[in-house]
Amino acid sequence: MQFVTSRLEALDKLNKFLENDITNYNSKRNFDFGVTNRRNVSCLSPYICHRLITEYETAKLVLKKYPFQKVDKFIQEIFWRVYWKGWLELRPKVWTDFIEDLKSIQDDENYLKAVNGETEIECFNDWVKELKKFNYLHNHTRMLFASIWIFTLKLPWQKGAEFFMKHLYDGDAASNTLSWRWVAGIQTKGKNYLAKSWNISKFTNNKYKDIKLNENALPLIDKREYKLNSLNLNYENISNENLLVFENELNLENQKLKTYENIYLVLLSNEVRQLKLEPKVLNYKSEISNDQKKRFNQIQLINEDKLHTILEKTKSFDVIHPSIGENYSYLNNMKKKYDLKLNFIIREEDKFSWQFSNKGYFNFKNNIPKILTSFNLQ
């Protein structure tokens, strides 16, 4: 299983999925048939995660070919990412608390056995090896993995979320963190997700059987409450000549951008990352960033050292909003250190969609048709 590193190749993968496999998605999407057979899912998440292609253009291409009723499950899955991003934008302290929690958790023997695939649970060990080798896991498998990690192996959910972010090509601060919280039972308080032997057997096509799991565990308890923040990302039409972009917001094609003298595409190294990434993941980010550089002549691909040099001289920038997470936290620190004036550019689609992330996904899902209609996506 290989992942492409250019926008054109990603669009080609999307089109092939639409031509050949999307009609099986509704009925087959929850089955993990293994790395040699992923035709029941799109495997587009590494591209959408970095917005090499966006959720919105993906939805538009799908709905250009099929009526909504025929592909509703696929559209809803795409918009889970939008929903999670909006949810975290409205409650950014969830991210900072997650990072702070990690600082106080010590790695023990059970943790080391888990991350090395040396537990007594065969399916879990296989998934660890698959994740490390291919930097991807089936979505349903991720839920099962997280449940086993939390309730059977009794490891901190925060360390599991960190482990995923370290290895996944599609690791996303919002989707990853909040999905782990959901499995644990602290995202929707009192409602956890429990992996069960029959479920694993069924959805791995009977590859694994008679798995000994804690199938009656209670949800975790986290008494922290998070107030709903307002989105305060209004763009002002000022004369900045410089634009900052991070590797998780690569799509400039669908932005109505003015001409900039300089576009700086920033890829942070592990030296300054709060969550350290595997070299393969950093290399993947570098390759897709280089693809963007090829398509926009004025883009300069830089690391944090070059960024510091620039910030010492230049204090005012437009910024494609990188969303709450690693890049935003770093940028916020630089803003304080260098007294920067940052003018955030947020996609109109995001700004509109995120207002529906104030409650649960059911409320958001009911508003998907409104989002699609508002931006002529169907």
Q: What is the DSSP string of 123-176?
A: HHHHHHHHHHHHS---HHHHHHHHHIIIIIS---HHHHHHHHHHH-TT--HHHH
Which residues contact residue 177 at a Cβ distance below 8 angstroms, ignoring those fewer than 6 apart? 88, 94, 95, 98, 161
Pick from 77-86, 235-244, 285-294, 314-323: least confident:
235-244
CB distance 165 to 277 below 8 Å: yes
Helix 173-184, helix 157-167: angle, nearest 10? 150
What residue spans define the domains of the chain?
7-89+354-374, 108-203, 242-345
pLDDT of residue 238: 64
Q: Is 74 helix (H, G, I), strand (E, B) or coil?
A: helix
Cβ atoms < 10 Å from Cβ of 270: 12
If DSSP codes are grouped into helix, strand and coil, which group holds residue 108? coil
123 vs 345, which has greater pLDDT? 123
Neighbouring CB atoms inside 10 A of 48's CB total 23
The CATH classification of domain 242-345, taken from the options 3.90.350, 3.40.50, 3.30.70, 2.40.10: 3.40.50
Q: pLDDT (tens digit, 9 = 90+) per residue, 224-267?
A: 999 999 887 655 666 689 999 999 999 988 776 778 889 999 99
**pLDDT for position 351:** 93
**Structure tokens of 317?**
């920038």
Please state which CATH class domain 108-203 belongs to.
mainly alpha
| Measured CA distances, 148 to 122, 145, 183, 212, 358 (Å) | 12, 5, 10, 10, 30
| Structure-token pair, residue 37 | 């057979």
| Alpha-carbon separation of residue 355 from 48, 229, 230, 254, 286 (angstroms) | 21, 11, 9, 21, 32
Burial class (CB in 10 A: 0-12, 13-18, 19+), 328: buried
As a whole number of angstroms, the distance between CA 7 and CA 192 comes to 37
pLDDT digits (tens, 9 = 90+) for 168-186: 999 999 999 999 999 999 9
Q: The whole model's pTM is what?
A: 0.96
pLDDT at 141 over 70: yes
Residue-level pLDDT at 236: 61
pLDDT in tens, 2-29: 899 999 999 999 999 999 899 889 999 9
Host H or E run for residue 72 = helix 68-90
For residue 299, pLDDT beyond 90: yes
* Number of Cβ atoms within 10 Å of the Cβ of 7: 21
